[in-house]
Amino acid sequence: MTRNAEAALLAAAAVVAAMGVALVNFAMGRGFDAQVALTFLVFAVSFGSIHMALRRWAPEGNPYLFPIAAFLTAIGFTEIYRLDPGLASIQRWSMLLAGGITTAVLLLLKDEGVVMLRRYRYLFLAGAVLLLLLPLLPESWPLHGAEVNGSRLWVRLELPVGTRSLSFQPGEVAKVLLVIFLASYLADRHLAMATTGRKLGPLRLPEPRQLGPILIAAGASFAVLVYQRDLGASLLLFALFITMVFVATGRAAYLVTGFVLVAGGGYFAYQQFDHVQRRVFAWLHPFDDFADAGYQIVQGLFALGSGSLTGSGLGLGRPDLIPAASTDFIFASVGEEMGFAGSIAVLAAYALLAAAGFGIAIRSRDVFRKFLAFGLTIVVAVQAILILAGVLRLFPVTGITLPFMSYGGSSLLANMVLVALLVRASHGERT
Amino acid sequence: MNRPIRQLAGAVFASFAVLVAAVTYHQVIVGPEYRDDPRNVRVATSQAGRERGTIITADGVVVAESEADPDDPQVFRRSYPEGSLYGHTVGYTTLLFGSKGVESTNSDDLVSYRDATISGVLGALVGGDVRPRGLRLTIEHELQAVAHEALGNQRGAVVALDPATGAILAMVSTPDFDPNTLTGLDAGPTGTALEDDTSQPLLNRATAASYAPGSTFKVITTAAALEAGVASAGTPFPNPVELELPGSTATISNFDGQACGPGTEVPLSVAFTRSCNTVFGMLGMEVGAEQLVGTAESFGFNAEVPLEIPSIPATIPAAETFEFDVPGVAQTAIGQRDVLATPLQMAMTAAAVANGGEIMVPYLVQEVFNSEGVVEESTEPLLWLQATSPAAATALSGLMENVVTSGTGRRASVPGIRIGGKTGTAEVPGGAPHAWFAGFGPVDAGPEDPQIAIAVLVESGGDAGEAATGGTVAAPIAQLVFAEFFGVGQE
């Protein structure tokens, strides 16, 4: 039975994380301490509860998706622990929380499956827009937005005790809600959109009536994101909208239009935002402005180059030199300490994740599940590709997290739920 | 609907293929370049805090050592007990300012292999020695200290070496700096201040800066003349007050503005002793650009110096660029115009005369020893250049001895030791002249006699300023070093 394979692979991922922590301790001269056992325990509890939920409520669901996610989480967690054990201990709490919420989501979907979500699409749309608006809350409120690195995409909740605060990135959760909305909307309208339409020169566009709500939703999301100056997330959501409409209608015109809009929007953003200009310059000429704009990219490249084939070894490199080493640039940190071998393993894991996700979409007979699986897969794949391309200097750095690997609770939670929806969608995918 | 999904899946996989290509490019293909980029502090930091080998002088004085932190025996701190004395030669290894000197060039010997890399662990398992090795330099501590003190707060350099082996016995450059200040907590501001200092305290003037050699270059002009058979020590030359240079209004005159002694003719030996520019201008024109440049190059000009630490070549323009420029040839022959030499080059020039015309490969590291003190590698003397013939070298040592006994270099003399040398006072447009002395002792050393060749440069006249000459400013510094080397009490 495939769920046993899943259990074995998840246990293996927990061992990878615990071994990683042990190796870091060894390299740092810390010895064998409670961190190793604690890490194993948290992985076991978090992924174990999801696994038990799947056993009960989605026994035929794809058994490889969570092991891949767990493997990526383990590699990322090891590197986070190596960079800052304090962050790692927060990340462990995030893992427990994400495991709990993901289990709860599976419980919620136990009878009807993902199809249940289809009914509440405007609730999800409203939820997504609300989440995207949250960072704009004024600073004086207990729950307010916060600006980090020139982008206002954080929400902070000041706790009544002391000066502590809870921060989260609502955009990460919003992207999952938007996928559900789009899948549901397109499942109802795709036939109309694909068959009707009016000609505009060589292009055949659907009736505005059919496309209107999507355009409004898309426009609103981007407006919010552009206002928050989080262009990575803008780009990600844009890719999501365009590809989903393309899948629903089968018309390449949408891809072309989308590409033109992205190029135009990118040019506009370049003209309008200083921090975009900085990032583009840093991308094109990182070595010319090593001390300032190019510093992060060059440090990332230095890390990768110094890692070479087999890496410096856990705890023996200097990924701490890279700005945002545990978040946006975690891939460079892994590349330095685990080498080319580790980099390729990570890339392969993302490719496998995408392959499994697209497979679920292709095999699904129910059109909502098909769109849902496709949307969830494309959003995680494009997110990974965008930030990896930034680290590898194929594209300007967009400042989004690397799914599962980057430090951050919101991102981990959103992506765990995303994978849970994928697995649940694959349960009985042929019906 | 599956067709567009397949197409987009294909696009996603193609993107991953591009990412794989990019990561291969950055980690495997150009990875080594990133790793060795001077702005990448990883190599330096990977060794930071780890034990590094001890560096000692030829006579056993510790000049660089690593001491374990009393609170954490795993963490070592590098210190330089002699402070600024070896700042340029031994250099430093730091996090913020990279590394320099022998600490940089011989770093592979000095690093510890006691680490958690695969080779480190395997090495320790099979019982290999993973502790860092140490270096014994060729430098004599007392000689170094005397040279350092003699230069004082003047800008300049002293290089002393063993003509028979090429071993550097002393190498001092001033102004200098204390490498300990670059490893401590306030290294940042200190290092930046040193980098911005207009007196360039981080520049090793002994090997990495070149100056017009002035009259010390007459050693090479004379060698060229002897080799070409144009003149010998006794050859008489006309003795004008001022040498008019053909094809120009420029003239060459002697330092005191007088003729080269009494009489209408003067032998080359006397002109050498008195350092007469008029005669050497004529000699240069007779020798010609091609022979002059050829001899200079056989003395090491225009060649990369095979010393461990970074050195720039002494330079003389190619013969074809000035062979028809007769005044230029005359000015080159007296070490002006476009001739530039490092103090190391002039020390090797003196060493060539002392060593029968041969220049040995200069070196700073005598031995590499392991953590138990057992010598693992030892530097063998190696011939670098045949600068001139043994006969010319013998003739030149006679001429140079005269300079110290009765000429411009009298203030370099040491009682009881036959010293040879040549002074130089290199004119600098718009500034005080550079004072030079290049010499050696003893003249006619037996095969067992210790010998030393010295070059002294005092930039812009030092404390004497406009009034400085090689004989009054540089020669006395050489004298102190000679006296220390030969164990002779100062006069």
pLDDT digits (tens, 9 = 90+) for A148-168: 666 666 677 666 555 556 677
Residue from A306, A331, A370, A386 to probe the interface with B (highest B Cβ count within 10 Å): A306
CA distances from B208 to B89, B313, B340, B433 (A): 11, 8, 12, 19
Q: Is B152 part of any domain?
A: no
Best CA proximity match to A28, nearest among A78, A92, A93: A78
Q: What is the CATH number of the domain that holds B314?
A: 3.40.710.10
Q: Rounded mean pLDDT of B461-467?
A: 84
What pLDDT, on the 0 to 100 scale, is given for residue B431? 85
Cα–Cα distance between B365 and B380 in angstroms, integer? Answer: 10
Cα–Cα distance between A304 and A316 in angstroms, integer? Answer: 14
B378 at the A interface (CB within 8 A)? no
Going by their DSSP bridges, the two strands B358-360 and B383-386 should be labelled as antiparallel
Nearest CA in chain B to A357: B9
Least confident of A39-53, A181-195, B21-35: A181-195
B31 at the A interface (CB within 8 A)? yes
Q: Rounded mean pLDDT of B366-392?
A: 90
B8 at the A interface (CB within 8 A)? yes
Q: What is the dihedral of CA A374, A375, A378, A384, to 10 degrees?
A: -140
Residues A342-360: b if buried by 16+ CB within 10 A, e if exposed: bbbebbebbbbbbbbbbbb
Closest-CA distance, A51 to chain B, in angstroms, reads 27
B34 at the A interface (CB within 8 A)? yes
Residue type, B467: A
Residue with tokens 């001033």: B174
Q: How many Cα atoms occupy the beta-carbon half-sphere of B446 within 13 Å?
A: 2
pLDDT-derived band of residue A78, with 50, 70 and 90 as boundaries? very high
What pLDDT, on the 0 to 100 scale, is given for residue A215? 72
What pLDDT, on the 0 to 100 scale, is given for residue B444? 81
Q: Cβ separation of B15 and A339 shorter than 8 Å?
A: no
What pLDDT, on the 0 to 100 scale, is given for residue B491? 45
Encode pLDDT of B272-327 as tens digits: 888 888 888 888 888 888 899 999 999 999 999 999 998 999 999 988 888 788 88
Q: Which residues in A201-254 belong to E strands, given as ranges?
A: 203-205
B24 at the A interface (CB within 8 A)? yes
pLDDT-derived band of residue A38, with 50, 70 and 90 as boundaries? very high
Confidence check: pLDDT of B147 > 90: yes
Confidence check: pLDDT of B116 > 60: no
How many domains, chain B? 1
Kindly state the tokens that stand for B7: 């197409």
Cα–Cα distance between A95 and A98 in angstroms, integer? Answer: 5
Beta bridge partners of A198: A205
Cα–Cα distance between B476 and B410 in angstroms, integer? Answer: 9
Cα–Cα distance between B34 and A81 in angstroms, integer? Answer: 26
Nearest CA in chain B to A246: B4
Q: Alpha carbon B226 to chain centroid distance?
A: 27
Encode pLDDT of B323-346 as tens digits: 788 888 888 888 888 899 999 999
B5 at the A interface (CB within 8 A)? yes
Cα–Cα distance between A309 and A342 in angstroms, integer? Answer: 9
What pLDDT, on the 0 to 100 scale, is given for residue B341? 94
Q: Cβ separation of B22 and A347 shorter than 8 Å?
A: no
Give the nearest partner residue to B6 out of A26, A317, A362, using CB atoms: A362
Cα–Cα distance between A39 and A37 in angstroms, integer? Answer: 5
Query: Where in the sequence is the domain holding B286, given as residue range(s)?
Result: 214-364+382-486
Which SS3 state, helix, strand or coil, does residue A100 take? Answer: helix
| Residues B233, B239, B243, B246, CA torsion sign | negative
B74 at the A interface (CB within 8 A)? yes
Closest-CA distance, B202 to chain A, in angstroms, reads 22
Best CA proximity match to A301, nearest among B406, B155, B36, B147: B36
Cα–Cα distance between B422 and B387 in angstroms, integer? Answer: 17
What does the mean pLDDT of chain B come to?
87
What does the mean pLDDT of chain A come to?
86
Q: Rounded mean pLDDT of A336-361?
A: 95
Best CA proximity match to B408, nearest among B271, B278, B281, B283: B271
Beta bridge partners of B136: B56, B367
Closest-CA distance, B95 to chain A, in angstroms, reads 12
What pLDDT, on the 0 to 100 scale, is given for residue A161? 55
B41 at the A interface (CB within 8 A)? yes
Q: Is B25 part of any domain?
A: no
Q: Is B86 part of any domain?
A: no
Partners of A26 on chain B (C-beta within 8 Å) are: 116
Best CA proximity match to B452, nearest among B398, B491, B424, B412: B412
Q: Which position among B210, B215, B269, B397 bears the catalytic label? A: B215
Residue with tokens 């530039």: B340
What pLDDT, on the 0 to 100 scale, is given for residue B382? 92
Confidence check: pLDDT of B205 > 60: yes
Kindly state the tokens that stand for B433: 């002249």
DSSP state of B246: T
Partners of B43 on chain A (C-beta within 8 Å) are: 306
Kindly state the tokens that stand for B369: 């020893």
CA distances from B491 to B147, B411, B416, B443, B466 (A): 17, 10, 11, 20, 27
Best-predicted range by mean pLDDT among A96-105, A200-209, A284-293, B230-239?
A: A96-105
Residue type, B106: N
Which DSSP string corresponds to A19-57? HHHHHHHHHTT--S-HHHHHHHHHHHHHHHHHHHHHHHH
Partners of A243 on chain B (C-beta within 8 Å) are: 8
Residue with tokens 């939703």: A217
Its pTM stands at 0.64
Q: Rounded mean pLDDT of A218-225?
A: 69
Q: Is B193 part of any domain?
A: no
Q: In chain B, count H helices and then E strands.
A: 17, 19
Q: Cβ separation of A290 and B28 shorter than 8 Å?
A: no
Q: Is B318 part of any domain?
A: yes
Nearest CA in chain B to A389: B19
Q: Cβ separation of A247 and B118 shorter than 8 Å?
A: no
Encode pLDDT of B24-76 as tens digits: 999 999 988 888 777 787 766 666 677 888 999 999 899 988 888 777 777 78
Q: Cβ separation of A302 and B35 shorter than 8 Å?
A: yes
What pLDDT, on the 0 to 100 scale, is given for residue A311? 87
Q: Tell me if A76 sits within 8 A of A326, measured CB to CB.
A: no
Q: Is B354 part of any domain?
A: yes
Nearest CA in chain B to A289: B39
pLDDT-derived band of residue B125, with 50, 70 and 90 as boundaries? low
Which SS3 state, helix, strand or coil, does residue A176 take? Answer: helix
Give the nearest partner residue to B34 out of A305, A318, A382, using CB atoms: A305
Confidence check: pLDDT of B118 > 60: no
Q: Edge-to-edge strands of the sheet including A143-148?
A: A143-148, A151-158, A165-168
Whether B215 is catalytic is: yes
Cβ contacts of B372 within 8 Å, gap of 6 or more: none
Percentage of chain A lying above the pLDDT 70 cut: 88
Cα–Cα distance between B174 and B88 in angstroms, integer? Answer: 9
Give the nearest partner residue to B34 out of A26, A306, A315, using CB atoms: A306
Partners of A301 on chain B (C-beta within 8 Å) are: 26, 34
What pLDDT, on the 0 to 100 scale, is given for residue A29? 76
Tally A–B CB contacts below 8 A: 136
Give the nearest partner residue to B31 out of A308, A358, A393, using CB atoms: A308
What pLDDT, on the 0 to 100 scale, is given for residue B352? 94
How crowded is residue B465: how many other Cβ atoms within 10 Å of its Cβ? 12
Kindly report the CA angle at A103 between A99 and A105, in degrees rounded to 5? Answer: 120
Give the nearest partner residue to A389 out of B19, B40, B43, using CB atoms: B19
